[in-house]
A and B are shown apart, each in its own frame.
Chain A
Amino acid sequence: MTLKMNAGTQSLESIQKLNELSGENVKLCMQCATCSGMCPMTAEMDYGPRRVMHMAQFGLKKQLAEINTYWKCASCHACTVKCPRGIDIAKVMEALRQQSLRTGQNKVEPSQMSAETIADLPQIAMVAGFRKLTS
């Protein structure tokens, strides 16, 4: 995806909303990419956390809605503990998830899970997964 930025693509309001929901300030990010280096899930992400922070800084709301980064985030806080700017990036990812989930859309559908899968998975996998990936 090529990112095109102009006054029309930027949503300044979305930056403020994201900061409010996460309790963080995305503009503190200096794009050092330590988060992307720490993240264990980048192999499965279309954009690493550093690039997502960049998109968030510019309020690229539409593009942010289309990427899988925060759906692949495992909330392991490796980015958070190493961020030299003190940004709790895991909270930014959670806020991005919640912005979508709060429109009533589930990322995984519990009713579609097979009985075998449910019998096999430890309870904490399901509780944690439903908390993070369903509305």
Chain B
Amino acid sequence: MKISYYPGCTLKTKAKNLDRAAIASLEALGVEVEEIDRWNCCGAVYSLTADDLIHMVGPVRNLIRAKEQGADKLVTLCSMCYNTLARANQLMREDTVKRDTINRFMDDEIDYAGEVEVVHYLSFLEQEIGWEKLKEAVKAPLSDLKVGTYYGCTLQRPADVGIEPFGSYLLMTGMLEALGATVVPFAAADKCCGSYQVLGAEPVENSAAAAVINIAGGAGIEALATSCPLCEYNLGKQQKQLLAKEKIGAPVPTYYFTQLLALALGLEAEVCHFELNDAASLELLKSKNCLAAA
């Protein structure tokens, strides 16, 4: 099986750990990943004003690249890329007037009307591999790890592009349970981490991130799994500062769900690029014997 893949800007550098572990895992599962040519930034956030069409050009251009290359599905990984691409795609499918304006503006491109389907990596795993088959492929189960499924905001909202309904965490839960981990429910799985508000504010002012970590810790969660580099930054990379300022009670190491996937599939720890996570993340995995296979 071969899939078209859109990585997005952060996944090539600061969130290399999200991207590399994801690609290596799919390859181990027998899926060939083909990155689309000449992709550009998706815009990170979807424009919410009724008159702003210029910011649709970026995400739509990526969808045109996928269509040109003969893809009917475009798999993506970063929560923000997924949301922006899926919403732009929905606009191109449903709003004929705006679609026409955007197509005519991009007169150097082929016309686009939403022919490509934007699919998140987790949905792809469930639909094309399935949890049973994934379970069979696991070589180093994460048996001793209590994980929280941190969805954040853009995977589930708004409802018409969400990978599953608001308040439901079945996809990541299904994947983590197939990997042998224990999934612990907690009340902040879909609470926002503070997102781009990290700009122009001290990290210790981020009350939203502190709340998520405290609720997770209180529920007995040892590790948080996420799909978004901004969530990982606000919850993971800033955690030391939140701890130092006593905004959080105890640390809860954060991971990309793809890192946990790669480890359970028995892949080399190098593909997970743990050097980009907080040091505590690797320590926890060592203490839980999750690095045994590597």
Least distance between A84 CB and chain B CB atoms (Å)? 14
B51 within 8 A of partner (CB): yes
Of the candidates A44, A81, A93, A126, the one whose C-beta lies within 8 Å of that of B157 is A81
Q: How many residues of A contact B (CB 8 A)?
A: 41
Chain B residues with CB under 8 A of A75: 45, 48, 153, 195-196
- Interface segment out of the listed A2-10, A27-35, A53-61, A116-124: A116-124
Chain A residues with CB under 8 A of B229: 122, 124
Q: How many residues of B contact A (CB 8 A)?
A: 48
Least distance between B181 CB and chain A CB atoms (Å)? 25
Chain A residues with CB under 8 A of B156: 81
Q: How far is the CA of A122 from the CA of B207 in the complex (A)?
A: 19
Contact A41 B192 (CB under 8 A): yes
In the complex, residue of chain A having the shortest beta-carbon distance to the beta carbon of B157: A77
Interface of B is mostly: loop
Q: Which residues from 115 to 135 on chain A have a C-beta closer than 8 Å to any C-beta of chain B?
A: 120-133
Q: How far is the CA of A35 from the CA of B47 in the complex (A)?
A: 20
A64 within 8 A of partner (CB): no
Q: How far is the CA of A21 from the CA of B166 in the complex (A)?
A: 27
Contact B194 A41 (CB under 8 A): yes
Q: Per-residue CB proximity of A64-99 to B under 8 Å, as 1/0?
A: 000000001011111011100000101101110010
Q: A81-B157, A95-B49 are in contact. Are A125 and B205 (CB under 8 A)?
A: no
Chain A residues with CB under 8 A of B154: 76
A20 within 8 A of partner (CB): yes
Chain B residues with CB under 8 A of A107: 200
Chain A residues with CB under 8 A of B157: 76-78, 80-81
Q: Which residues of A contact B (CB under 8 A)?
A: 20-23, 40-41, 43-44, 72, 74-78, 80-82, 88, 90-91, 93-95, 98, 107-108, 113, 120-133
Query: Top 6 nearest A-B pairs by Cβ distance?
Result: A129-B199, A76-B192, A76-B153, A94-B48, A77-B157, A23-B50
A-B contact pairs, 30 of them (CB 8 A): A21-B51, A22-B48, A40-B191, A40-B194, A74-B194, A74-B197, A75-B153, A76-B192, A78-B192, A80-B157, A81-B157, A81-B159, A81-B166, A91-B50, A94-B48, A95-B49, A98-B49, A98-B52, A122-B14, A122-B233, A123-B9, A124-B9, A127-B41, A127-B45, A128-B80, A128-B195, A129-B198, A131-B43, A132-B45, A132-B196
